[in-house]
């Protein structure tokens, strides 16, 4: 094994249909799909590919990829698991990572021999889950629906969605059922990586079963989600692919639920809450046990300030379906917004136990601690590099730590620094603007919070753009899909007591919704 792997000087190479570009940390497939790996993950892939089928020991990997530092088995296991997800997702079987018990690993290219999936691989877990669920379609629909609700780390929904009753539909063909479940597991990650994996798996499904309507329908849903959450230059291509997959699904099954959901993603709910709610409640009257519809309604309710109802809806789903990261942190968020702090803490413990390093779970935990009087615990969490999620730039963690330290000290100089970095971040991306609104409100800088809200929703003063956070994460929020649920979370309580809040709600169309629906948002009902 050679010395330390320097990605900047590694030449591109191929693994079947994939071109591996170490310097860019990219996996590029021949059909133009791409995935970006974390630096350490790419180093391990290069190390295994260099061995050309030979076994690479854990010690070899620590020398070449961790500069010889002592690392735990969990660190290596996480990297190998990530590579296996890439192999089964965007790789479509172009390579496999085989575990040689108590020795190490080897990379096998497509055609180098049929290797059963490792017991801890995503595909093996998917097969086990398929057996456990007995291929229950209701659970599969729930997984896909929650992916739509939480795609990109936020709440989305759609209008005019009518699902067929899951109990009346056929089970998936046995040869593609594990792939379908694995694709839905990938979708619930709420990341670009998860979306790419889902698309890759579903392309495999429809190549194996071109007459399977749900395969095409879920592929259409995945492409539609990608069109919403990717850079704008990819939107037209993703929408075209979604339209074709949707056409194939509806030709096979005119009432296909996934295909109709895909069409709904083209219709942003911002400003259209009345239509969205009516459509969902009408559908639920006929299909009361469809968790896809329930989760979508929860998203609408949270976005219009009906947090108690949103929490009750998510409670029901949480008790019925297999957990996933998007559902886990959404459960925490809705309980917190509904004024159920003890239950939110319990749900947070569950989420951390299940998904300790998922980025959305980690940040939800950080903010819950920071905003509920446990700032020291939040700071300790942020300073513990060993538990941080991967793929997040160092400066992002420092930003939230500056805010937390200001929350703790309440010193004018610290608050000034935290406000400055929050405003600077809001100019950098839509997700940072969402955080900035909450940071500034929590720090008592309400004027600046409203200024960022004006920029975020209406591009007044400045335009945060559509990129959410860093280019490494690669997620986007369209201007016609700006999120309103953050206006009803505990951190923005000081905004809701200000006269300007009602003017903001009116301009967004929320006041019109409350009037048309004959309801008051929770913050008005409780004072």
Identify the DSSP state of 157: -
Q: Where are the beta strands (DSSP E) in 210-344?
A: none
10 CB neighbour count, 10 Å cutoff: 17
CB 105 within 8 A of CB 48: yes
DSSP E strand boundaries for 357-498: none
Question: 108 pairs with which residues across the strands?
Answer: 96
* pTM metric for this prediction: 0.63
CA 321 to chain centre: 17
Contact 342, 368 (CB under 8 A): no
Using the 8-state DSSP alphabet, how is residue 28 labeled? E
CA distance 435 to 432: 5
Tell me if 455 sits within 8 A of 426, measured CB to CB. yes
Judge whether 47 and 60 are in contact, CB under 8 Å.
Answer: yes
The Cα 497–Cα 516 span in angstroms is 23
**Residue 442: strand pairing partners:** none
The tens-digit pLDDT sequence of the chain (527 residues) is 557 898 988 889 999 888 899 988 889 887 667 788 888 999 999 999 998 889 999 889 998 998 878 777 778 888 888 888 888 778 877 888 988 877 889 999 876 644 444 444 444 444 444 334 333 333 333 333 333 333 333 333 332 232 333 333 457 888 998 898 888 778 766 667 788 889 999 999 999 999 999 999 999 988 988 887 666 777 788 889 999 999 999 999 887 877 877 776 666 778 888 988 887 788 778 778 777 778 889 999 999 999 999 999 999 888 887 777 888 999 999 999 999 999 999 999 999 998 888 888 999 999 999 999 999 999 999 999 988 988 788 888 999 999 999 999 999 999 999 999 999 999 999 999 999 999 999 999 999 999 999 999 999 999 999 888 866 666 777 787 899 999 999 999 999 999 999 999 999 999 999 999 999 999 998 75
Are 77 and 119 within 8 A, CB to CB? Answer: no
- Cα 97 to Cα 188: distance, rounded to the nearest angstrom: 24
What is the spatial order of strands in the sheet that 18-21 belongs to?
A: 13-15, 18-21, 26-29, 34-36
Residues 6+ apart with CB under 8 A from 14: 20
Instruction: Check: CB of residue 137 under 8 Å from CB of residue 173.
Output: no
Coil, helix or strand for 105?
A: strand
Q: At what angle do helices 232-252 and 257-264 cross, to 10 degrees?
A: 150
């Amino acid at each position: 094994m050679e010395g330390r792997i320097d990605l900047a000087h590694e030449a591109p190479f191929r693994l079947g249909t994939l071109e591996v570009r170490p310097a860019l940390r990219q996996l590029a497939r021949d059909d133009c799909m791409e995935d970006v790996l974390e630096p350490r993950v790419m180093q391990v892939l290069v190390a295994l590919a260099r061995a050309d089928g030979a076994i690479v020991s854990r010690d070899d990997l620590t020398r070449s990829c961790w500069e010889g530092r002592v690392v735990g088995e969990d660190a290596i296991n996480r990297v190998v698991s990530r590579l296996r997800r890439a192999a089964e997702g965007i790789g479509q079987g172009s390579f496999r990572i085989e575990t040689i018990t108590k020795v190490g690993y080897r990379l096998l290219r497509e055609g180098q021999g049929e290797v059963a999936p490792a017991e801890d691989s995503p595909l093996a877990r998917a097969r086990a889950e398929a057996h456990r669920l007995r291929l229950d379609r209701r659970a599969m629909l729930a997984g896909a629906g929650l992916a739509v609700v939480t795609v990109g780390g936020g709440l989305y929904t759609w209008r005019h969605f009518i699902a067929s009753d899951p109990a009346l539909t056929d089970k998936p063909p046995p040869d593609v059922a594990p792939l379908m479940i694995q694709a839905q597991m990938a979708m619930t990650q709420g990341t670009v990586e998860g979306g790419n994996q889902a698309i890759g798996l579903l392309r495999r499904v429809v190549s194996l079963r071109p007459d399977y309507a749900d395969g095409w329908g879920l592929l259409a849903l995945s492409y539609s989600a990608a069109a919403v959450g990717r850079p704008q230059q990819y939107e037209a291509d993703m929408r075209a692919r979604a339209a074709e997959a949707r056409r194939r699904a509806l030709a096979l099954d005119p009432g296909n639920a996934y295909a109709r959901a895909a069409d709904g993603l083209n219709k942003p709910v911002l400003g259209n809450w009345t239509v969205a709610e009516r459509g969902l409640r009408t559908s639920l009257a006929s299909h009361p046990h469809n968790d896809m519809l329930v989760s979508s309604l929860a998203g609408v309710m949270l976005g219009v300030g009906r947090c108690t109802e949103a929490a009750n809806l998510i409670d029901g789903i949480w008790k019925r379906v297999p957990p996933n990261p998007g559902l886990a942190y959404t459960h925490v968020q809705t309980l917190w917004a509904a004024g159920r702090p003890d239950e939110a803490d319990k749900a947070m413990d569950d989420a951390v136990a299940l998904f300790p390093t998922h980025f959305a779970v980690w940040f939800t935990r950080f903010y819950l601690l920071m905003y509920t009087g446990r700032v020291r615990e939040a700071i300790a969490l942020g300073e513990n590099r060993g538990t941080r999620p991967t793929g997040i730039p160092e400066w992002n963690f420092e930003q939230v730590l500056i805010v937390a330290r200001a929350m703790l000290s309440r010193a004018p100089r610290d608050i000034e620094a935290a406000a400055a970095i929050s405003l600077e971040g809001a100019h950098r991306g839509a997700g940072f603007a969402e955080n900035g609104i909450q940071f500034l409100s929590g720090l008592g800088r309400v004027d600046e919070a409203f200024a960022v809200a004006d920029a975020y929703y209406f591009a007044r003063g400045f335009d945060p753009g559509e990129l959410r956070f860093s280019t490494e994460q690669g997620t986007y929020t369209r201007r016609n899909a700006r999120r309103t649920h953050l206006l009803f979370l505990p951190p923005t309580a000081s905004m809701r007591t200000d006269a300007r809040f009602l003017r903001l709600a009116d301009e967004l169309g929320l006041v019109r919704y409350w009037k048309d629906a004959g309801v008051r948002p929770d913050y008005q009902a409780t004072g």
